[in-house]
Amino acid sequence: MRPFIHFSKVCLLGALALPFFSPQLGAQSISPVLAPHAQDVEEALDKAFEYLLRTQHPDGTFDGQYGKSAGVVALAGMSFLAAGHTPGTDRYGKFINDCIDYVLKQQNEDGYILTTGKPDKGMYSHNISTLFLAEVSGMLDPGRDVKVRAALEKAIRVILLAQDAKKRGGHEGGWRYSPKANDSDLSVSGWALMSLKAARLNGAMVPEKNIQAAIEYVKNRQGENGSLGYQGKGGGRVALSGLGILCLTLTGHIDSPEVRLAQQDLMNRYQKLPRDSHSEYGLYYVTQAAFQLGGESWEQIGDWLYRTYLPKQKEDGSWSGKTPVYSTSMIVLSLTVPYRQLPIYQRDETIDE
């Protein structure tokens, strides 16, 4: 079959002004929200990265309930990218390459990147893995980069076909655990949309109709009070309001009424996150959303993030959870939001004005 997408020969990542601040790159212009906590964040990241490096197996996997999931391995690799580390360079270059190689090995012939042991929720792993591959593509050695680009083309085709599968009423435009599911949920759909957006930034020709269908799906999850629902309208966790804001701001809808309504819900409920049963991914969505919104939203949530989660780090460098590598990776991704090292999460730098 004719491929849905085509990657340009010129990687677009080089055109982005990525360097901002990282412990390794040094401070160029530290976010005012980060500045009072910068030294503590640097020390926490060093400890976290040493923990992840120490616990990674030779095949790129980790211990724990989901330590062999391609999605969790991808999140671990992305956490290093978020602090300015790159594949094949410095102390952590091999770690990132091992994550990439493991994710590539999990891809089937049809392009599906399965979650080991959890095929019924495979699209989570697939979408996160696709996002990771899109973020590293173009910064790899030639041999590995060719493999990643080939894998990305097949992986994105799986996402597009899954979105186009026949859906029940109200579920059109989204994604669910299985590529052939006839329903959708906001959480899986958010990762899918982010992976498509990242692929576009990297030169992939993702059809506009698929992006627009996903945006409409997100908007249709919002209730009258601004909250977004997991499958229905409204009433979901605050994490889903963060995810909705993130999806809409990354696709150019920051001034939409849906974002403003969700922002109100976000600011009313974000401090409840530590008591949430899915607090790590909720924290990731909420902090990314607040940073995209900028202004008072980021000032409040950013300062709260550092004051609340830095003290929770364990002596070994990890953060507690059923799978510590997952918890640690997600919190590192949250702490490094203002570093702006991941191309997908670039923002309009006039937003605070």
Asked whether 155 and 133 are in contact (CB, 8 A), the reply is yes
Rounded Cα gap, residues 341 and 316, in angstroms: 25
Residues 285-305 have a mean pLDDT of 96
Residue 22 has pLDDT above 70, yes or no: no
SS3 label, residue 49: helix
Amino acid at 133: L
Cβ 229 vs Cβ 241: under 8 Å:
no
Average pLDDT in the 218-228 region?
Answer: 96
- pLDDT at residue 4 in the model: 40
pLDDT tens digits for range 68-125: 999 999 999 999 999 999 999 889 999 999 999 999 999 999 999 986 655 557 899 9
Q: Tally the C-alpha atoms within 13 A of residue 65's C-alpha that lie toward its C-beta.
A: 7
How far is it between the farthest Cα atoms of the chain? 54
CA distance 223 to 348: 27
Backbone dihedral angles phi then psi of residue 344, each to the nearest 5 degrees = -60, -30
**pLDDT tens for residues 266-279?**
999 999 999 887 88
Q: Tell me the per-residue pLDDT of 152-196, one tens digit each, with 9 for 90 and over.
A: 999 999 999 999 999 999 999 999 999 999 999 999 999 999 999
Query: Taking a C-beta distance cutoff of 8 angstroms, is the pair 14, 138 a contact?
Result: yes
Residue pair 37/306 in contact by the 8 Å Cβ criterion: yes
* Residue 54 amino acid letter: R
Domain residue extents for the chain: 106-220
The pTM for the full model equals 0.91
